[in-house]
């Protein structure tokens, strides 16, 4: 009971300073979350398109890599596109940042591309 009374007295004396510190921390956390969220939405794996060939750049996530073919996602930030890797190409590594050139295939999906060359790992 005595300990509880001492804690109550401490918090009553320091209520304003504790509230200010918590408020500043919350405001900082919200600002960081907004920055990360907005910067993630601004990234896009689809680059420039020239003559129907589009440059795709981002992190590769395999969906299904079999000896006959490899399919997966190239993602950048909050956006991704589905890609078909040519049979003659080696399978890209998981989480590797790759650059590839592909043709859009809307019949397979709105964000689907068939790569026309082998993807290469981007240098850091």
pLDDT at 2 over 80: no
- 96 to 58, 73, 107: CA distances (angstroms): 8, 11, 27
> What residue numbers bound the domain in which 99 lies?
46-121
- At 3 the pLDDT is 63
**Co-location of 29 and 59 in the same domain:** no
pLDDT in tens, 37-69: 777 777 788 888 888 899 999 999 989 888 778
What number is the average pLDDT over the span 113-120?
89
- The DSSP element (H or E) to which 83 belongs, if any, is strand 79-85
**Co-location of 6 and 29 in the same domain:** yes
**Co-location of 12 and 53 in the same domain:** no
**Co-location of 35 and 67 in the same domain:** no
Give the integer Cα–Cα distance in Å for 11 and 26.
19
Point out the least confidently predicted range of 13-17, 25-29, 99-103, 113-117.
13-17
Work out how many domains the chain is built from and give that number: 2
**Co-location of 56 and 111 in the same domain:** yes
**Co-location of 115 and 62 in the same domain:** yes
pLDDT at 15 over 60: yes
Q: Is beta strand 97-104 parallel, antiparallel or unpaired with respect to 53-65?
A: antiparallel
**Co-location of 59 and 31 in the same domain:** no
pLDDT in tens, 83-108: 998 888 888 888 889 999 999 888 88
Query: pTM for the full model?
Result: 0.64
**Co-location of 38 and 52 in the same domain:** no
Neighbours of 17 (CB within 10 A): 9
Residues 52-65 as b or e (16 or more Cβ within 10 Å = b) = eebebbbbbeeeee
pLDDT at 79 over 60: yes
């Amino acid at each position: 009971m005595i300990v509880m009374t001492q804690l109550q007295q401490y918090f009553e004396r320091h209520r304003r300073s504790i509230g200010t510190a918590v408020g500043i921390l919350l405001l900082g956390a919200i600002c960081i979350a907004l920055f990360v969220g907005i910067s993630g939405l601004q990234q896009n794996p689809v680059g420039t398109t020239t003559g129907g060939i589009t440059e795709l750049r981002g992190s590769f996530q395999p969906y299904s890599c079999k000896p006959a073919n490899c399919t997966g996602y190239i993602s950048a930030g909050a956006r991704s596109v589905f890609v078909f890797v040519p049979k003659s190409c080696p399978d890209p590594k998981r989480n590797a940042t790759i650059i590839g050139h592909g043709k859009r295939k809307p019949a397979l999906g709105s964000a689907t591309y068939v790569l026309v060359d082998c993807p290469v790992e981007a240098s850091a």
